[in-house]
Homo-oligomer: A and B are copies of this chain.
Amino acid sequence: MTKVIVSGFSISIDGYGAGPDQSLENPLGKGGETLHTWMIETNMFHTMLGKDGGSLGADDDYATRSMEGFGAFILGRNMFGPIRGDWPDDRWKGWWGDNPPYHAPTFILTQYPRDPIEMEGGTVFHFVTDGIAAALERARAAAGEQNVKIGGGVSTVRQYLQADLVDEIHLVISPVVLGRGEALFAGIDLSALGFAVTEHATTEAATHIVLAR
């Protein structure tokens, strides 16, 4: 049975999944990039960028797991790019260059229709304008036997949690403070949704928590 999973999702110790004042210069908000230091330092991420080295151990294991075994991805539009409103043209194809790290059908939540984009390496971006449930239905169909990953950002994860559509969350608490930003769990009762901690691992760079139900 296909599971719907949030994975490798980083928050600050004050609970923010992105910093304040998002912009083209700061797509993750001010200070938001510090949430992801644990992943940037891993061998998995180095390899993804065609570099040698990087940390091994739990951070690397979880980083690998956060991108493997998924038959489809769902992303909020702001995670796909900085453009708001209608698409001015077809030039923007995501933050990730010609060969994005998804290698599978990837469904972008947006109010504005656009034709699919086939990228190198197996990623095809589909633009879904009829809501999160429709996007999940299409992602499930595309994923076959594999799992579906809700890739983010914060608002997208919150919407799927609030709709009771998430089976598992791998959360990463980074040792940073953001002060303001997008609070991942504010007003969401994880216990009522049936989540409990099923795994945790700690490293110098982060605390990894798996929540399942």
Which residues of A line the B interface, CB within 8 A? 13-15, 31, 171, 173, 175-180, 183, 185-186, 188-193, 195-197, 200, 202-204, 207, 209, 211
- Chain B minimum-CB-distance residue to A193: B179
Q: Taking the full assembly, how many copies of this chain does it contain? A: 2
The 8 Å CB contact of A179, one of B175, B179, B186, B192, is B192
**Known: A31-B191, A173-B207, A207-B207. Is A14-B179 also a contact (CB below 8 A)?**
no
Within the complex, the shortest CB–CB distance from A154 to chain B, in Å, comes to 14
Instruction: Give 6 A-B contacts (CB < 8 Å), ordered by A residue.
Output: A13-B211, A175-B207, A177-B191, A180-B189, A180-B192, A202-B203
Interface pair A211/B177, CB less than 8 Å apart: yes
Minimum CB distance partner of A202 in chain B: B202
- A195 to chain B: closest residue by CB: B177
Contacts of A190 in B (CB 8 A): 14, 177-179
**Using Cβ atoms and an 8 Å threshold, which residues of chain B touch A180?**
189, 191-192
